[in-house]
Structure 1
Amino acid sequence: MEEPIIIKVSKTTFPVKPKLKPTPRTPSKTPESKYWSSFKTRPIDNLAFSIPSLAFSPSPPHPFAAAHSASLSLFSPRSLSLTHTISSFADVVSSLSFRSDGSLLAASDLSGLIRVFDVRTRTPLRRLKSHLRPVRFVRYPVLDKLHLVSGGDDGLVKYWDVAGESVVSELRGHKDYVRCGDCSPADANCFVTGSYDHVVKLWDVRVSDRNRAVTEVNHGSPVQDVIFLPSGTLVATAGGNSVKIWDLIGGGKMVYSMESHNKTVTSICVGRMGTQGGEEATELRILSVGLDGYMKVFDYSRMKVTHSMRFPAPLLSIGLSPDCNVRAIGTSNGIMYVGKRKGKENTESGADGSLGLVNVEEPQRRVLKPSFHRYFHRGQSEKPSEGDYLVMRPKKVKLAEHDKLLKKFRHKNALVSVLGGNDPEKVVAVMEELVARRALLKSVMTLDRDELGLLLMFLHKNSTMPRYSSLLMGLAKKVIDLRLEDIKASDALKGHIRNLKRSVEEEIRIQEGLQEIQGMVSPLLRIAGRR
């Protein structure tokens, strides 16, 4: 009885591609990254000085203001262009805040003065002078149009009656500079302040004891910024390289600490993930910026950083418009990066800034249905609808010479054809295919001296490359063992072997040097980590 003949059918997909090619480390873009990348950023570089504070108006169309040196500038949210500049300050402007109706703007400076302006006419209306040291923050309560909160380097927090230009309450308790604060979105009488004494205090102006806060938490490092989250029960604090979330109702318990910045976090704000179907979205995010030049987006419902963006300068301030369409970031070198979301606008601005055009409904196009005769006679340019099954004509693949030879099982000729080129990826791809077919060593055995010289030259140039070394170093040993007699008989082949030996010895020296450096650096990194 005759033995059956076994025929191996190759399942190779052509053209062959290298399997050793490293996959990119950059992950595919998530919907979150696509959303935040949709803010097309452009720099505004005519401010010249650092920008410590940004503020958006709560009322549409949400103009925004930026503090720089002894001036503040107002910008249009539609054109992102400068509309007005107010330069009547005696010292550097440190903080800005719009009133809840957007008609008034409060600004503090390092002389200890707080000024209130009419946004429409830029007319100064009030001068609030009580701080003896620089004022670092000023805030309008969300639910109150008659009062202001301020804090400064004198360690005092003041609650102002704006109309009477007088201090209603002077709150003491911080032991160092008061740098930041925010007002509760749920109670007009409550606000929080943060200080360089590492402490964040929750105040209630109805409490008779002016030196005692309702609740306080210790951030663990000088506090640079503090904000209320929309619920009114949580606050986020920024200081050092961390952003922490605290539960005020739970007695000041820390909920989470986000430490993804490499340097000091300077400013944080709350943003929403745009709008959906005309309704306000419920997906809330904390945006943070720091001196490392990074902007981070933190989803505090899932407790993870969902997006990160790098800027070419240390960042000092960040703001997001209430309609989530404009984002502004201030830097230490006077450049403001303003981003506006791409999208179709339903309204256009007139020359005076008012809404000029109204929506006009477009006539709806009649939808073709499968019951219509014309449905089956649509042209080649017709776009498929969601329910259509699209049949694509397969593209004709143009094969290279080595792919054609592999299809004909001419293994040696395929190897020689790629060795004559200058593409190491193709050579490695063919070698991997020959290994899978168990034909690589057979092909090496049948090479003549000139072809063997091409192979040794390729091994000399590429065997020490990390991407290919696992395959080529083993192949080099096999080639020397199998073709030793031919190598001894040829001076040219001996030269290739000497070159290969030198390149391997040089790579070994480099690796030994790197190991020595690693041995010296590792103890230093461990010591730095303990500190």
Structure 2
Amino acid sequence: MSNFKRLNTKIYKKSGPTVTPDSIYWKKLKPPVLVKEFGPIDYIDFSPVEPYYFAVTCSVRVQIYNPITKVVAKNLSRFREAAYGAVFKSDGRLLLTGSEEKNVKLFDVSTKSLLRLFKGHTAAVHRVNFLPGQLQIASYSDDKTVKVWDIPTEKNLITYEEHTDYIRAGVVNPTVENTFISGGYDGQIKMFDIRTEKPIFSVSHGSPVEALLFVPTGGAFLSAGGTDIKIWDPLMGGKLRGSISQHHKTITCLRMATDNKRLLSGSLDRHVKVYDINTYEVVHTMDYSNAILSLDISKNDDTLTVGLVDGLVCVSRREEDIQEKPVQKKKRASYRYTSYINFYDADLVVEPEIKEKEAKYDKSLRKFMFSKALDQTLIPYVANKTPEVAVTLMQELMRRKVLEKAFAGRTPKSILSILKFIHKNIVNYRFTRVLIDAFNVFLNVYENSLDEMPANVCTILIEINKLLAEELNLLNQLAELQGSMSMLLAAATSASDVDVLKDKSTLSLVPSENARKNFVVNIS
């Protein structure tokens, strides 16, 4: 006679979060150290050279922090009004910022002196960039223009007036000299070449553009606006390659990480999501205490810095891997000094057999006492703590075609316990299919005697009927919503289907005449 096979209740247990190499990797970041600033954190940028200081643009100053000590190393405060979008040059020696003062400022990081002051915009400048391989910069302003400047002479080389609303995003092409893209609140993304006076191409994101990011190879760029991240192919004239919708509020910032193999996005929904750059699927999510306005990550993912709307800067450092000391092998004793005695164990230790305790419902099931087994799983303590046990037993009884016998001949009290269990768990997605089948079996058994049931049994039957009707209505609404979203995404997709250069050596710059005149006194 074969051994009795116990009831397998693990098939309905709640599934925990899947442990992946990415989740392990990103959870090595320590809990963030919180640094309080005065006002929303507009922009964060890491220096590309060691020791990888990061610049935090907030209010009327730019603070340069040490990522290890989390204290301010440099303080650039020569602003009368708010500063915006401070970025480092590729050698880490210069820092470029926009401001509410309608001009662009260039600082020497080591001396904190103002080297250049670029005047010409008629509204606030929110984003600025150094052009790779050139002694030129690009600025993006709320006056709906993009300007290219010459650093040595402070002259405006070219102005583009192609946008119809504020321009709050811009990025340069890391592999092609002279080209960059801009994104505005008019929803338009335009690529420019400074050798021409007109944009190379223009595409529509569909909502105000908050952030732009080039893939390091230059073969694609990403735009963030609303709740969508879109992938574009600049080599095909801005053809849409895909769309990501993982946030439920506006996406404010994009960054590359893990040697350009991962993409980070921050949003007003307080989440930072990590994507695989090959599949654009979410591999990890991090939560923060408030809406996220900016983020950046250092080289080798050592430090992740996130700026919040309430003025907090969250600095997370990666835990250092502790290398285990190699175990020293014991030296073998020399036979010259070892006695010739054999130390062999003569006894054979037999480990005691550990028998698992059989559950009460398994004992009843083995003895074909089906009603008793069902009653033992519907005890309030068992049914509330482990409802999967009762559901698994009902499924087993249906497989054996004896659930009708287990339901039949019951007292009103036991019938009420069965119906209460079904009412409580029938909308749980893990148990819905089994409990609907079990409820149908129950109705088949008692369909001729429902009129004789007590009032409390009839009441809970009516409640189950209402609950199933509400669930069916909700499923219909979700199906309609899914169909509408599929049509919108298909329409959007069909409508849109219509190598790294090294930077030149920095000139030894001295403060210009305009920079000397821009004198600001700070009273601490």
Structure 1 residues 38, 19: closer, same or farther in 2, change over 3 A?
closer
Match of 1:124 in 2: 114
**How far has the Cα of 1:54 moved from its partner?**
0.9
The letter of the residue matching 2:21 is P
Confirm or deny that 1:109 pairs with 2:99.
yes
Aligned pairs for 1:25-44 (under 5 A) are 28-42=18-32, 44=34
TM-score norm. by structure 1 comes to 0.72
Aligned CA-pair RMSD:
4.1
TM-score norm. by structure 2 comes to 0.73
Structure 1 residues 420, 243: closer, same or farther in 2, change over 3 A?
closer
Please give the secondary structure, in 2, of the residue aligned with 1:249: helix
Match of 2:245 in 1: 259
Distance 2:485 2:437 in 1: 39
Of 192-201 and 56-65, the range deviating more from structure 2: 192-201
Alignment counterpart, residue 234 of structure 1, candidates 197, 204, 220: 220
Distance 2:162 2:318 in 1: 41
Structure 1 residues 254, 140: closer, same or farther in 2, change over 3 A?
same
Match of 1:174 in 2: 162
Alignment counterpart, residue 270 of structure 1, candidates 240, 249, 256: 256
The letter of the residue matching 2:36 is N
Match of 2:457 in 1: 500
Match of 1:147 in 2: 136
Aligned pairs for 1:107-506 (under 5 A) are 107-144=97-134, 146-164=135-153, 166-176=154-164, 177-205=166-194, 207=195, 209=196, 211-272=197-258, 281=259, 284-344=261-321, 365-366=328-329, 396-407=355-366, 414-415=373-374, 417-418=376-377, 422-424=381-383, 425=387, 426-430=389-393, 432-433=395-396, 452=411, 455-464=414-423, 465-466=425-426, 467=431, 469-470=435-436, 472-474=438-440, 476-477=442-443, 480=446, 497-506=454-463
**How far has the Cα of 1:94 moved from its partner?**
1.5
Verify the 8 A CA contact 1:156 1:170 in the aligned structure 2: no
Please give the secondary structure, in 2, of the residue aligned with 1:66: strand
**How far has the Cα of 1:336 moved from its partner?**
2.9
Verify the 8 A CA contact 2:212 2:221 in the aligned structure 1: yes
Distance 1:198 1:443 in 2: 64
Aligned residues: 459
Structure 1 residues 119, 463: closer, same or farther in 2, change over 3 A?
same
**How far has the Cα of 1:260 moved from its partner?**
3.3
Match of 2:5 in 1: 12
Please give the secondary structure, in 1, of the residue aligned with 2:107: strand
Distance 1:519 1:95 in 2: 47
Distance 1:302 1:528 in 2: 21
Alignment counterpart, residue 12 of structure 2, candidates 8, 21, 32: 21
The letter of the residue matching 2:81 is D
> For structure 1, which runs of at least 5 residues remain unmatched after alignment?
1-6, 273-280, 347-360, 369-376, 378-391, 489-493
Structure with the larger RCO, 1 or 2 (CA within 8 Å, 6+ apart): 2
Structure 1 residues 89, 463: closer, same or farther in 2, change over 3 A?
same
Of 150-159 and 304-313, the range deviating more from structure 2: 304-313
Structure 1 residues 480, 20: closer, same or farther in 2, change over 3 A?
farther
Residue by residue, what CA displacement relative to the aligned partner does 1:238-272 show, whole Å, maximum 9, x if unpaired? Answer: 22332223332333333333333333322212222
Please give the secondary structure, in 2, of the residue aligned with 1:160: strand
**How far has the Cα of 1:438 moved from its partner?**
5.8
Structure 1 residues 21, 518: closer, same or farther in 2, change over 3 A?
closer
Distance 1:319 1:527 in 2: 36
**How far has the Cα of 1:237 moved from its partner?**
2.1
Verify the 8 A CA contact 1:444 1:452 in the aligned structure 2: no
> For structure 2, which runs of at least 5 residues remain unmatched after alignment?
332-342, 344-350, 489-524
Quote the sequence identity (%): 26
Distance 1:77 1:290 in 2: 23
Verify the 8 A CA contact 1:179 1:224 in the aligned structure 2: yes
**How far has the Cα of 1:508 moved from its partner?**
2.1
